[in-house]
Structure 1
């Protein structure tokens, strides 16, 4: 079952016909995503952390994060991919074992820690060990943080992306990349699935598909939007008005 769902998730990563993943934060939001017709479910570590009462940046205890992922995977009949930051300090074999035990069949793994970029060779070795431990039971989305933390160049992103693909990653996620010409160039030069973050002001999903993107995710943006909407409802109640 795990390998079948991983294969199904992997097959959704089609350049030009991207899998669209509105990131979720709990079981209820995961069910809503499925009810809306999306074929897979992705978590946002930042959104899950806020729901659990923690800040983003691996401040959530690993047991609580894994339990949150497990609750999400339990309620949906679709592949689940989990944002697990840089792995919470776990060794690759333990990380894979604990992640697969939640029911997830995919993960994001980022190449920064404590506000700085990890050496690309070190990260590639880490990803290779994750792949060796998981076999094909896990879809690895390798996040490249150069556009966030510098150097903000195509060459830097390509170097890391190529290393991570060679190490066994299925998809490369240059988070922070927004310029259309850069997206098109990276897609072309990597020759592999590329994930783009649909942040406010970014190109529409249809345009990202035209650029050859294979995966579109929304990070914690949807959770933030829901939170703002809830604040408006609470303000109406506080003012003695109906929120409905």
Structure 2
């Protein structure tokens, strides 16, 4: 099993060159299976984990998600990035305290966003957003952990699709100490390349949460370093479950239970891959 230090070193090295996919598991089982497929790192998904507990996205407490990160980090042998939302605090000092707690879970990276949690005023004002990133950076540095900090500009997800404002924020976040930059919700080649160019040489994360025309090779050619899928894989699983259960409930048919992986195969996989402490 890799140590936390080794995972953090490996995660930083992944961001130095090339392009990699960092898929988003929502529990230990999905994390272990993704690891077995050869992905070099994983990222938590706030929405996927919330759905698994019967809650909407962003409805879980700080302590719930911290326990989740501990579980995922302990169960897997590759780096884990934490989707730490807005840090579960508005003010920089409280944010810094929470970032230290997040570092203590054993994650290799964490992301902080500029979404306030209030859709009527969704983004922290520019100066406060920058101060928050700086506070997160200082908290990581003071903790002694080499955790990679991703800063997110959330306007495109919350009714503020202003690319110029997003780039202004990202460049300031980079200057404040963010290691990786992220604008979830951008979709066009022009938008993606504009962000990559604006923050270079800092790496950029791109969200691919729905079917699209771009492949990993296409995205790599645009200069993106990291590709995540957010809650999409969790939604794929929920969609299959909902459709199968609905067919049984409405038509009394079991068609959608055919052609799926067997319990025997899953038992064999988890017997070979589940850590002994699990």
* Equivalenced residues, count: 242
Residue in 2 that maps onto 1:79: 79
CA distance in 2, matches of 1:134, 1:2: 14
Query: 1:31-42 counterparts in 2 under 5 A?
Result: 31-42=32-43
CA deviations 1:129-186 (Å, max 9, x no partner) are 1111112521111111122335423321111001100111111111111110121122
Q: Over the residues paired in the alignment, what is the CA RMSD in angstroms?
A: 1.9
Residue in 1 that maps onto 2:7: 5
Contact 2:23 2:41 in 1 (8 A): no
Residue 114 of structure 2 is aligned to residue 104 of structure 1: no
Contact 2:209 2:231 in 1 (8 A): no
Contact 2:19 2:226 in 1 (8 A): yes
* Structure 2: runs of 5 or more not aligned: 259-278
Residue in 1 that maps onto 2:126: 120
Residue in 2 that maps onto 1:166: 175
Residue 154 of structure 2 is aligned to residue 145 of structure 1: yes
* TM-score, normalization by structure 2: 0.81
CA distance in 2, matches of 1:93, 1:154: 28
Aligned residue among 242, 249, 254 for 1:241? 254
Tell me which moved more, 167-176 or 4-13: 4-13
* Structure 1: runs of 5 or more not aligned: none
Contact 1:128 1:168 in 2 (8 A): yes
CA distance in 2, matches of 1:150, 1:193: 25
Residue in 1 that maps onto 2:53: 52
What secondary structure does 2:104 align onto?
A: helix
Contact 2:79 2:108 in 1 (8 A): yes
CA distance in 1, matches of 2:72, 2:85: 17
CA distance in 2, matches of 1:166, 1:181: 24
* TM-score, normalization by structure 1: 0.92
What secondary structure does 1:195 align onto?
A: strand
Of structures 1 and 2, the larger Rg is shown by: 2
Contact 1:107 1:140 in 2 (8 A): yes
CA distance in 2, matches of 1:2, 1:127: 23
Contact 2:114 2:152 in 1 (8 A): yes
Query: 1:183-202 counterparts in 2 under 5 A?
Result: 183-191=192-200, 192-202=202-212
Residue in 1 that maps onto 2:261: none
CA deviations 1:17-64 (Å, max 9, x no partner) are 22201111111111011011101110110111111222113x201111
Residue 104 of structure 2 is aligned to residue 93 of structure 1: no
Bigger RCO of structures 1 and 2 (CA < 8 A, at least 6 apart): 1
CA distance in 2, matches of 1:138, 1:22: 19
Residue in 2 that maps onto 1:65: 65
CA distance in 2, matches of 1:3, 1:170: 17
Contact 2:88 2:95 in 1 (8 A): no
Divergent runs of 4+, >4 A: 235-238
CA deviations 1:108-134 (Å, max 9, x no partner) are 211111121111221211111111111
CA distance in 1, matches of 2:112, 2:36: 27
CA distance in 1, matches of 2:127, 2:203: 21
